[in-house]
Structure 1
Amino acid sequence: MKFHRIAAAVAVAAIAPAVFLSAPAVAAEKATASPAAQSAGAGQADEAVYPGSPRSGWRGPQLTLTAPAPDARVAAGSWTGLKMAVDNRQGETVEGFNLAFDISGPLAPAKSAELEYRAQDGSWRKAFGNGKVFRIDWGQVKAGDSFTVELRMRFAPNASGLARVLTFATSSSGLSGGSVDCMSQFFDVQPPK
């Protein structure tokens, strides 16, 4: 593994506890996610838009995730589509840009998710991960770039419960030590009918 990837992984691991400890209770955050998402506008009634919250010093792309609305149910065993808008029209060129996803919650069994993304060549590829934590190494994002990354997530057929997904973006460019743009969203995972 290259040094910049190790540094990016360390940056994600270092801030994850702070994000978990500083966040409000799951129920309270779930209740407040919907109005912000509705005000941003969503493509469908069961979708919501989650804007990222850049940390101090982050000069890379702004992120916006389109995902199921907080009260939407997700069928276990089926793919759920997501979209990550990456807008670097106001940012600097970023080397080693990657997206990281950390899934928590009362899922049974643990580590029961898959994540895929549509690569730049148009093919679907598995994100590097272990069923709970995933990473997508995207590469360079130039200043002025703006694009959308298609994602899809699937929970095992026997998974059920509320899943919380934290999304981070990191960079090996040394933008304030690889500062992170972070979002949190929820999936109400239900057994297949």
Structure 2
Amino acid sequence: MTLSDLGSPTWWATAVVGAVALKIVSDYVRKGLDKLAAMGFSAWSSRTAASRARFASRVRALRKNHTLREWWFQQEMRHRSTSLMYLVYGGIGIVMIGILGMVKKLAELTIAPKLISTGPIDVRYAIIALAAWASICVLVSVWTSLKAMSIQQELAAALFDAEDSAEADSEQPAATS
């Protein structure tokens, strides 16, 4: 395109048709994106409301039932110990990656290449497998830790909010008498 093309009627007709077509397409795309955003916000708010209702329901059940509180506490401890176990497994995997890296570097030295054997498999594949294993272990550790924290929040709401409301109830008659 040159400056002389700007004066031609073909260029102007193409520019106008292109602008109109772009405006029509952009209106439909904008409407679609608006609908998609509205559906997403609606789903998010209904999901949040359902989550709050589940939380309140669990807190009410935990306030009423001592055995359920004990069981829920055991679940929290189980999730915490599982989280720590997988975190240790992931750490061991990372340490093993470091050891294999050192073995690979030692095997490449020209001083004593025959003294250190890397074994029947290539060290790179072992490092990749260990990295995948360590990553999975850390992800499981984070997930179980988050689950334990949500259980802890429910237990805290059931125990401490119940005590606070019981203390407030017991203080009110004493303050009026």
Q: Normalised by the size of structure 1, how large is the TM-score?
A: 0.21
Larger radius of gyration: 2
Whichever structure has more helix as a proportion of its residues is 2
